[in-house]
Chains A and B, each alone.
Chain A
Amino acid sequence: MKAKMVNSPGSQPENLSLIHQTRGQEFWRTFKRNKLALTGMVVLGFFFLTALTGLFLTYGREPFFNPRTVRLADRLRPPLSRPHRTIPEENRPRFGIYILGTDDLGRDVFARMLQGAVVSLSVGFVAVGISLFIGMILGGIAGYFAEVKLLKGVTVDDVIARLIDIMLCFPVFFLILTLIAILPGNIWMIMIVIGITGWTGAARFVRAEFFTLKNQDFVIAAEALGIPRRRIIFKHMMPNALAPVLVAAIIGIPGAILTEAALSFLGFGVPPPHATWGNILAVGRRFIFDAPWIIFSPGAAILLTVLSFNLFGEGLREALNPKLRIR
């Protein structure tokens, strides 16, 4: 009994560890030290609010900001200008000014930018979501069942790894262009096409993580305890593989946004009159000297979003990297 007492650290004052904080607090502490990433997060927050505003105020039959109203008397008006007196009352812009000017059909660029923000961000998230879904399943299968033989010594991993290699050989943008040209052009189709062509990154990350995790002692311990395989994969392995995948996903979003913008710019994207940053840019290209403000707004928006996503993603990577942590 006496020996028990001596062995029990419970009799000692609380002396648990160096870090008396949760993983979340620890993550936040590392993250907020990276000022650029923090700025990126704030800018992203701003664009999310913009997109949310756009969703509520530019859609529907009689939106608060109407991106479809054509005012031939007010073509190519500069930012902050007032509408022409011949414009009827119901077609006048809100607050009585064109905040970001008008385009060649006299449509309010500000309203169109709001609507475009909805398209850009939702394409980014949904497309990357689709990629993640496919990538995690294929990568997980490749990593966990790597050694399972199929035919003549070809393993599951061989098949999926070659599939990834084949995907990587395609010039993805032209593949997307081809698919869009064949398929009906609407916003959902664009998300799906960008998603199913971009899953290789996530698959490779999950596959690599699963390879290491499979040999970690806690996974072997779970197997030794007779924990069912499904539970091992989803409870023990997947949560530990997510961090790098999340970072890859965040950095993948601007790629999808750029692809959508490029498609719209080329006229293969979301069909008019729906506004996207890409097609505002396409319109502005023709009036680049007469009305530079038309390309300026979408250009700056795309630049800032992509940059912010990348900075934010880098910050996440740094804060989630277990090597920088004190054990």
Chain B
Amino acid sequence: MRDESKNNGPLLEIKNLQTHFFTNEGLVKAVDGLDLEIFSRETSGLVGESGCGKTVTALSIMGLLPSPGKITQGSITLQGRDLTQLPERKLQKIRGKEIAMIFQEPMTSLNPIFTVGHQVEEAIIFHQGKSRKEAREITREMFGKVELPSPEERMNEYPHQLSGGMKQRVMIAMALSCQPKLLIADEPTTALDVTIQQGILALLNKLQDEHSLAILFITHDLGVISQVANRIAVMYAAKIVECAQAGEIFRNPHHPYTLGLLNSIPKIGGGEKRLPAIPGQLPNPLVPVKGCRFHPRCFFVKDYCLEKEPPLAEIAPGHKTACWRHSEIKAQSN
């Protein structure tokens, strides 16, 4: 699947992205040299823990960075256009029309004083210049597509009348109403119950096939990502540490962080023995780590890991990792 799309080149290409926050406490490099390719018809998973920079990556793509955040270096290329160089007016046209985003909290993304149908119509009118009547028609169709029960009635309801799962479906309908090429989903199921989560994930998979959509799926949950992603990038402390096909990441992790994350998830039927936890705390973004970012928590650490930062290097076709000792880790994990 990937080889096919690679012929056409990636839909979105991020090169050496640096997004920095100039806070009162000091410089926070929220994204520090990130490379990522997103292909059409593919779901790219971006996995990482809180504060690793995954949401900032998404906001950098959307051009929605809150102050004091700024892209200081690098490029984000969407089909030949570098989004970091575009003026705000042009970005506004791309946002919502070519790239759409859904968030963790569907609650706060919807305006409580308008019906959900009206809000989706407004988005269609703004981006596509359709009449109210046409917009209403499209909205009805989209509500059906996202499998909202009795879509006609739902359109006339207010956000508080819908459950969390239904609100997220409305958000998906709104995001897809303008036929975007790329959908960024930032922890879309984290606030939902497992049984509801399952439905949303299945819906995203279905819609991707129907609309030949590219999805950037951001989550902290390795279980969720394996349900949707074709390719997975693992992020740690503002950088991607490993990136490969979904199956490959789970079968053959080559970075000690990926390996540690996989091991530290409890497995059903896994017995009562201790979980092999990753020691230590998440890194403090204000204090840059010398050498490899992961070395203070790494089981495989050697002297040279403290000195020099490993580059994200291709170790097998389509499999990149940023670790000096990746070959030994492979042996360990098997």
Contacts and interface: CB of A to CB of B under 8 A. Distances in A.
Q: Within the complex, are A and B direct neighbours (CB within 8 Å)?
A: yes
Interface of A: 3, 6-9, 11-13, 15, 17-19, 29, 326
Contacts of A3: 274
A18 B286 contact: yes
B279 to A, nearest CB: 5
A15 B281 CA distance: 7
A18 B285 CA distance: 8
A12 B279 CA distance: 8
| 5 nearest CB pairs, A to B | A12-B280, A6-B279, A15-B281, A15-B284, A3-B274
Contacts of A13: 296
Interface of B: 23-25, 274, 277, 279-281, 283-287, 296-297
22 contacts: A3-B274, A6-B277, A7-B277, A8-B279, A9-B279, A9-B280, A9-B281, A12-B280, A12-B281, A12-B296, A12-B297, A13-B296, A15-B281, A15-B284, A15-B287, A15-B296, A18-B25, A18-B284, A18-B286, A19-B25, A29-B24, A326-B23
Contact of B283 (A6, A15, A19): A15
Given A12-B281, A18-B285, 15 more contacts: A6-B277, A6-B279, A7-B277, A9-B280, A9-B281, A12-B297, A13-B296, A15-B281, A15-B283, A15-B296, A17-B284, A18-B286, A29-B24, A326-B23, A326-B25
A18 B23 CA distance: 11
Contacts of B25: 18-19, 326
B328 to A, nearest CB: 19
A17 B284 CA distance: 7
A18 B26 CA distance: 10
B13 to A, nearest CB: 32
A235 to B, nearest CB: 30
A34 to B, nearest CB: 13
A133 B104 CA distance: 44
A7 B279 contact: yes
A203 to B, nearest CB: 30
B260 to A, nearest CB: 11
A11 B296 CA distance: 10
